[in-house]
Amino acid sequence: MASGRRPDRHSRRRLHTESRLTALRTEIDLLNEQLLSSIQKRGRIVLEIAALKRAQGIDGYDAKREEEMLQSLLNSAALEPFGPAEVREIFKAIFRASLDIQDREGRKAMRVFRPDLVPESGFLVRDVPVGGKEPVLFLGPCSVETPEQIDAIASFVAGLPGLKILRAGAFKPRTNPYTFQGLREEGLRILREAADRHGLAVVTEVLDTATLDVVAEHADMLQIGARNMYNTELLKAVGRAGKPVLLKRAFMATLDELLLSAEYILAGGNDRVVLCERGIRTFERTTRFTLDLSAVPLLQQETALPVIVDLSHALGRKDIMAPCARAALAVGADGLMIEVHNRPDQALSDGFQQFDLKEFSAFLGNLDLRGARLSEPIMGGSHG
Residues 113-152 that bind its own copies (CB under 8 A): none
Q: Does 15 engage in binding with its own copies (CB under 8 A)? A: no
Establish if 285 lies at the interface with its own copies (CB under 8 A).
yes
User: Is 267 one of the binding residues for its own copies (CB under 8 A)?
Assistant: yes
Q: Does 177 bind its own copies (CB under 8 A)?
A: yes
Amino acid 180 reads: F
Options 60, 94, 126, 189; binder of its own copies; rule CB under 8 A: 94
Under the binding rule (CB under 8 A), the answer on residue 105 touching its own copies is: no
Does residue 54 interact with its own copies by CB under 8 A?
no
Q: Are 369 and 322 in contact (CB under 8 A)?
A: no
Question: What is the C-alpha to C-alpha distance for residues 283 and 196, in angstroms, rounded to an integer?
Answer: 43
Tell me which of 198, 214, 322, 361 binds its own copies, using CB under 8 A: 322
Task: Measure CA 157 to chain center.
Answer: 28
Site for its own copies contains 14 (CB under 8 A): yes
Find the part of the chain contacting its own copies (CB under 8 A) among 139-147, 152-160, 187-195, 343-351. Answer: 343-351
Helices 232-239 + 255-266 axis angle, to 10 = 40
Is 355 exposed, middle or buried, given 0-12, 13-18 or 19+ CB atoms closer than 10 A?
buried
Is the CB of residue 361 less than 8 Å from the CB of residue 161?
no
Q: Pick one of 67, 148, 196, 213: the residue that binds its own copies (CB under 8 A).
A: 67
Residues 183-222 that bind its own copies (CB under 8 A): 207-211
According to CB under 8 A, which one of 294, 358, 370, 384 is a site residue for its own copies?
Answer: 294
The secondary element (H helix, E strand) that includes residue 76 is helix 63-76
* Interacting positions 219-248 with its own copies (CB under 8 A): 227-228, 230-234, 236
Asked if 19 is part of the footprint of its own copies (rule: CB under 8 A), the reply reads: no
* CB distance 138 to 169 below 8 Å: no
Backbone dihedral angles phi then psi of residue 59, each to the nearest 5 degrees: -65, 140
Q: Closest distance between its own copies and the C-beta of residue 146, in Å?
A: 13
Select from 295, 315, 290 the least CA-distant residue to 305: 295
* Residue 146 burial (CB count, 10 A): 15
Q: Please identify, using beta-carbon distances, which residue of 3 and 175 lies nearer to its own copies.
A: 175
Residue 96: strand pairing partners: none
Q: Which of 242, 358, 362, 370 binds its own copies (CB under 8 A)?
A: 362
Q: Does the footprint of its own copies cover residue 158 (CB under 8 A)?
A: no
Under the criterion CB under 8 A, does residue 326 sit at the interface with its own copies?
Answer: yes
Residue from 124, 158, 214, 320 binding its own copies (CB under 8 A): 320
Based on the shown chain and the rule CB under 8 A, indicate whether residue 338 belongs to the binding site for its own copies: no
CB 302 within 8 A of CB 274: no
Among 87, 124, 158, 160, interactor with its own copies by CB under 8 A:
87
Q: Are 182 and 213 in contact, with CB atoms under 8 Å apart? A: no
Question: Three-class SS of residue 311?
Answer: helix
